[in-house]
C-alpha cells in the first residue's frame, strides 16, 4: 500500500476544504535560515540543534562571526570592509562577554578546544 498517495490525497482535500487558512503565517513567505556561514557537513546538526532549542547566544555569535569573516575575505570595497570590521569587533566583544560571564575562558582545555574549533572553521 502506498501511504504517500493517501497522505497527498488527505492534504489536497484539507487544502480544498480551507483547513489551512487559519494557520499562523498563512499566505506569508517562509523565513528561511541563512546557513551559508556553516560548513555543509554541519548544517543538518545545526538545524536539529536549533529546532530543539539547544543553540545559545554563544553559538549564534560564533556563526555570525564566521559569516562576517567570510564576507571580509571576499570584500573589495574599502568602505564596506570598514563596516564589516566594525561588526566583527562588536560580535567578538559580545562573544568575549558571554564567555567571560561563564568563566570558561580561563581553562587551558577550553582554550585548546577553542583553537581546534577555530582552525576547523577557517
pLDDT digits (tens, 9 = 90+) for 28-69: 888 777 777 677 888 888 888 878 877 677 778 888 888 888
Return the pLDDT at 13: 94
| Cα dihedral: 8, 11, 14, 20 (round 10) | -160
Q: How many beta carbons lie within 10 A of that of residue 58, not counting itself? A: 15
pLDDT tens by residue, 4-17:
899 999 999 998 99
How far apart are the C-alpha atoms of 43 and 32, rounded to whole Å?
A: 13
Return the pLDDT at 103: 62
Whether the pLDDT of residue 96 is over 80: the answer is yes
Return the pLDDT at 37: 66
pTM above 0.85?
Answer: no
Nearest to 62 by CA among 95, 32, 96, 87: 95
Return the pLDDT at 12: 93
Amino acid at each position: 500500500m502506498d501511504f504517500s498517495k493517501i497522505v497527498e490525497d488527505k492534504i489536497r482535500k484539507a487544502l480544498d476544504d480551507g483547513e489551512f487558512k487559519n494557520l499562523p503565517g498563512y499566505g506569508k513567505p517562509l523565513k528561511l535560515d541563512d546557513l551559508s556561514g556553516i560548513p555543509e557537513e554541519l548544517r543538518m546538526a545545526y538545524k536539529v540543534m536549533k529546532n530543539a532549542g539547544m543553540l545559545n547566544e554563544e553559538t549564534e555569535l560564533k556563526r555570525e562571526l564566521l559569516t562576517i569573516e567570510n564576507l571580509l575575505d571576499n570584500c573589495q570595497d574599502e568602505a564596506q570592509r570598514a563596516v564589516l570590521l566594525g561588526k566583527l569587533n562588536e560580535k567578538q566583544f559580545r562573544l568575549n562577554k558571554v564567555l567571560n560571564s561563564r568563566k570558561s575562558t580561563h581553562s587551558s582545555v577550553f582554550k585548546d578546544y577553542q583553537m581546534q574549533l577555530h582552525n576547523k572553521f577557517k
